[in-house]
Amino acid sequence: MKRTKIIDVLDGAKVGTQVNVKGWVRTFRNNQFIAINDGSTINNVQAVVDFNSFDEKHLKRVTTGACISVNGEVVESLGKGQSVEIKVAELEILGDADPEKFPLQPKKHSLEFLREIAHLRARTNTFGAIYRIRHAMIFAVHKFFTDKGFFNIHTPIITGSDAEGAGEMFKVTNFDLDSVPRTEDGRIDYKEDFFGKETNLTVSGQLEVETACMALSEVYTFGPTFRAENSNTSRHLAEFWMIEPEMAFYELEDNMNLAEEFLKYLVGYALENCKDDLAFLDNRAQEEDKAKPQNERAEMTLLERLQFIVDNEFVRLSYTEAIDILRNSKPNKKKKFQYLINDWGADLQSEHERFLVEKHFKKPVILFNYPKEIKAFYMRHNDDGKTVAAMDVLFPGIGEIIGGSQREERYDVLKAKVEEQGIPEEDLWWYLDLRKFGSAPHSGFGLGFERMIQFVTGMGNIRDVIPFPRTPDNAEF
């Protein structure tokens, strides 16, 4: 018999029809009720066995984690929360899971423990929900841009340039590390390497996607990016996915408008299309909240937070205005943001960002026009001589979710900047060429996909929203 997915059984299989269902056993209660999940939905189907019609030894193998196949009739269910169940006629064990050894038992496991068994955690409700939402968000990204007439461009993973100029790159080499060829003065001779030059894993596809932007006008890239920054935080991964749109003829304000529209669309899409999974995660978060002291509990539920994003305009604020607010604010009764006083030009720390978003405005904030010294070389210089047309979108509970800017399209200004920062021109000659031949004003931004998934799922640690997190000292799987 052809297999029916559990979502289709629960969502409309007619009572009286025969179905085959395959999946993993969640629980087996009273030698009668098997809860089976196949990942097509967070909901399990209940398969009911008549104990007397099966060999006891056979039923003993129906344990949490085992994979089974059942044939049977769809019948009305008297159980709570389900309209149908399956009356089992045949039951086959496809794969046993020794209950003495299978690490997932029908109880709540800590997220830390589940990280150690990343190869099995997709079988929990929490990770099943997160992976399905991740998929929906990937689809929503492509839909948003396709509906707007943008073109998806694949940018390279292996590159010869440092897009952010921050020196946080993983090297790519084909050398036998025990016998690396060296030049006469003792430096590594990359001319002898696979590509004939020094190469890295990309930190951003921006520079390359700009080349397509100067031809197809509105484009985006969505790919993996890599950063060897040693930040062991709940917001940083060494391997993460980034969505980077790039638009010709957009100025900074157009860029901010698109970023706000895009974020609202993604959150709205999840609310509309991931109802069961979000309801589960919302409930999970509320349970966790109850265990916390009153003053640490969330002001809004997950679903309320998501709806809030869709319904409210983001605050837009220049860096200079933000510094003024911070200078005059007390994050708690005693403390002021002391070290920012008279310190225009300093980069904002995450405590400043959180203060603006979570305490002062209680809304997402787009900060723009940052001091030129603290931002990347490609950002467009403003006429004040001090700032660049940069923008960061700050989200409650997350901090920076998007970073972007209008790009410097003037050849002379960009060339001077590249020289000033000591970036070798041989790495960026092609990027400068774009400003020599038919240059145009253009802008773009990068959304960190995992930070977005963190916001949508309400998960506190970024390691729990990507199937195989890469962080310092962690590349087990």
CB of 164 to ligand 4AD, least distance (A): 5
Which positions ≥6 away from 133 have C-beta within 8 Å? 270, 274, 277, 278, 453, 456, 457
Q: CA 317, CA 361: separation in Å to the nearest integer?
A: 11
Strand ranges of the sheet holding 171-172, from the earlier edge strand across to the other edge? 158-159, 199-201, 171-172
Question: Which residue shows structure tokens 């970024």?
Answer: 462
CB of 228 to Mg ion, least distance (A): 16
Total chain residues near ligand 4AD (CB under 6 A): 22
242, interface contact from Mg ion, ligand 4AD, none, CB < 5-8 Å by kind:
ligand 4AD
Binding positions for ligand 4AD, 194-213, rule CB under 6 A: 204, 206
Q: Among candidates 156, 259, 155, which has minimal Cα distance to 213?
A: 155
Q: CA 425, CA 410: separation in Å to the nearest integer?
A: 16
Binding segment for ligand 4AD among 21-29, 85-93, 357-365, 402-410 (CB under 6 A)? Answer: 402-410
Q: CA 417, CA 405: separation in Å to the nearest integer?
A: 16
Q: Which is nearer to Mg ion, 61 or 407 (CB)?
A: 407
Give Cα separations from 299 to 295, 302, 303, 358 (angstroms): 9, 10, 12, 10
Cross-strand bridge partners of residue 183: none
201, interface contact from Mg ion, ligand 4AD, none, CB < 5-8 Å by kind:
none
CB of 453 to ligand 4AD, least distance (A): 10
Binding positions for ligand 4AD, 215-274, rule CB under 6 A: 227, 229, 236-237, 240, 242, 244
In a 3-state reduction of DSSP, which class is residue 34? strand
Q: CA 22, CA 1: separation in Å to the nearest integer?
A: 11
Q: Determine, following the binding rule CB under 5 A, whether residue 223 of this chain makes contact with Mg ion.
A: no
Q: In degrees to the nearest 10, what's the CA dihedral of 429, 435, 436, 439?
A: 150
Q: Determine, following the binding rule CB under 5 A, whether residue 403 of this chain makes contact with Mg ion.
A: yes
Binding mask 446-475 for ligand 4AD (x = CB under 6 A): x-x-xx------------------------
CB burial string 260-284: b at 16+ within 10 A, e below = bebbbbbbbbbbeebeebbebbbeb
Binding segment for ligand 4AD among 121-129, 312-320, 342-350, 440-448 (CB under 6 A)? Answer: 440-448
Binding mask 153-182 for ligand 4AD (x = CB under 6 A): ----------xx------------------
- How do beta strands 18-29 and 67-76 pair? antiparallel
Question: Which residue shows structure tokens 């990343």?
Answer: 118
Q: CA 204, CA 246: separation in Å to the nearest integer?
A: 12
Q: Strands (DSSP E) along 275-347, which ranges?
A: 315-318
451, interface contact from ligand 4AD, Mg ion, none, CB < 5-8 Å by kind:
ligand 4AD
Binding positions for Mg ion, 305-324, rule CB under 5 A: none
Q: CA 238, CA 200: separation in Å to the nearest integer?
A: 13
Task: Please name the helix (run of DSSP H) or strand (run of DSSP E) that holds residue 454, with its range, or none.
Answer: helix 449-457
CB of 376 to ligand 4AD, least distance (A): 7
Q: Determine, following the binding rule CB under 5 A, whether residue 448 of this chain makes contact with Mg ion.
A: no
Binding mask 69-108 for ligand 4AD (x = CB under 6 A): ----------------------------------------
Binding segment for ligand 4AD among 45-53, 137-145, 397-405, 411-419 (CB under 6 A)? Answer: 397-405
Q: Which is nearer to Mg ion, 205 or 403 (CB)?
A: 403
Q: Which is nearer to ligand 4AD, 229 or 324 (CB)?
A: 229
Structure tokens at 475: 């590349």
317, interface contact from Mg ion, ligand 4AD, none, CB < 5-8 Å by kind:
none
Binding site for ligand 4AD (CB under 6 A): 163-164, 204, 206, 227, 229, 236-237, 240, 242, 244, 400-404, 444-446, 448, 450-451
Binding site for Mg ion (CB under 5 A): 403
